[in-house]
A = this chain, B = another copy of it.
Amino acid sequence: TKHYRITLLPGDGIGPEIITVAVSVLKRVGEQLDIQFEFKEALVGGAAIDATGNPLPDATLDTCKDSDAVLLAAIGGYKWDTLPSHQRPEQGLLGLRAGLGLFANLRPAKILPQLIDASTLKREVVEGVDIMVVRELTGGIYFGQPKGIFAGENGEKRGVNTMVYAESEVERIGRVAFDIARKRGKRLCSVDKSNVLDVSQLWRDRMTRLSEEYADVELSHLYVDNAAMQLVRYPKQFDTIVTGNLFGDILSDEAAMLTGSIGMLPSASLGASGPGVFEPVHGSAPDIAGQDKANPLAQVLSAAMMLKYGLDEPEAADRLEQAVMQVLDEGYRTGDIMSPGMKAVGCQAMGEALLAA
């Protein structure tokens, strides 16, 4: 029997409901494949602010560090929007990334054939789209120093942030991206703004040098403005994309929206060693929290990414993904992905359909 310790971070809004579904399918697949999961719950985000005043209590970070993987649901809500920004729920997320050294964020944007009509793009444009965005997650302008609001000349305030990458940071995320591209379509597109930014020139040079070690992967480069256009114009041209923290934030969300159903998209955040964090792309949806209306499928697909990228249990990951495909084929739909002729279900009923599948 294999044994894994999983930290659960339900967070806010619909978080507790959807993570419950993910836990039930993990248990079931564990029974089937003789894998034991030991779950430990911890506080993060708004829930942690309410209980402790801190969006990422030390105890939570310790619990995470002491586990094999972290399954996170969702963070944030109107309730905490008026707090000063350094005390908001999102800081819990940024703290978790920094605290666990999660420098690689994997954001798949894959069109599911069952939901293709949910896309605002024409069917022929998005059919078969399968993009993996690899975003650097602990560097760049998110963490660069100096940062702050300073009094400038003539007393006027100036806001400052610094976008900085060291060669080793580029190399590190580059290796993750090349390795992933190698297992996919063997095409990697590095996105930067090297016609304007020095930091992007360093990024491009380092990626180009690194590509010599990955002769079987085709490396191309795009400027970020052009990448934002190309995603809309012809998304099928992309296989794997690698980019910095800020550009990755923007492009992974744009790519996600091409699918039309961001309620379906998982993500993984990985470090050099230690536990990764696995979470849905969607938010905490406070407007429907506690009403059994949430879509748990992105959370379940995040659990599948956890099995695949975090615990190296690809067989278990496949079973979860197949269960999701099957319930979609059977016509089960939560409100966010409902369409005429399909079977409307709530969060719990979707969980039961998954277990049956």
Contact = CB atoms under 8 A, between A and B. Distances in A.
Interface residues of A, number: 62
Contact of A195 (B90, B161, B256, B260): B90
A198 B84 CA distance: 12
A83 to B, nearest CB: 11
Given A94-B196, A224-B249, A166 B157 contact: yes
Nearest to A200: B159
A120 interface: yes
A165 interface: yes
A149 B200 CA distance: 10
Given A229-B253, A229-B256, A198 B122 contact: no
A202 B94 CA distance: 20
B94 A148 contact: no
Nearest to A148: B198
A350 to B, nearest CB: 23
A229 B203 contact: no
Contacts of A356: none
Given A122-B121, A225-B249, A253-B229, A158 B149 contact: no
Contact of A193 (B148, B246, B252): B246
A88 B195 contact: yes
Query: Which residue, of A94, A200, A225, A260, has the highest number of chain B Cβ atoms within 10 A?
Result: A225
Contact of A160 (B159, B162, B247): B162
Contact of A202 (B159, B252, B253): B159
Given A90-B195, A94-B196, A253 B225 contact: yes
Contacts of A88: 195
A228 interface: yes
A125 interface: yes
A286 B224 CA distance: 21
A115 to B, nearest CB: 14
Contacts of A194: 85
Contacts of A148: 198
A158 B206 CA distance: 11
Interface in A197-224: 197-203, 224
A17 B154 CA distance: 48
Nearest to A76: B195
A120 B230 CA distance: 11
Given A120-B122, A121-B121, A232-B258, A159 B253 contact: no
Given A149-B201, A228-B228, A160 B163 contact: yes
18 contacts: A94-B196, A120-B125, A120-B234, A144-B160, A147-B197, A148-B198, A157-B167, A158-B164, A159-B200, A159-B201, A161-B164, A193-B249, A224-B249, A225-B252, A228-B253, A232-B257, A250-B250, A254-B254
Given A224-B249, A226-B253, A231-B254, 6 more contacts: A85-B195, A120-B234, A157-B166, A162-B162, A228-B253, A228-B257
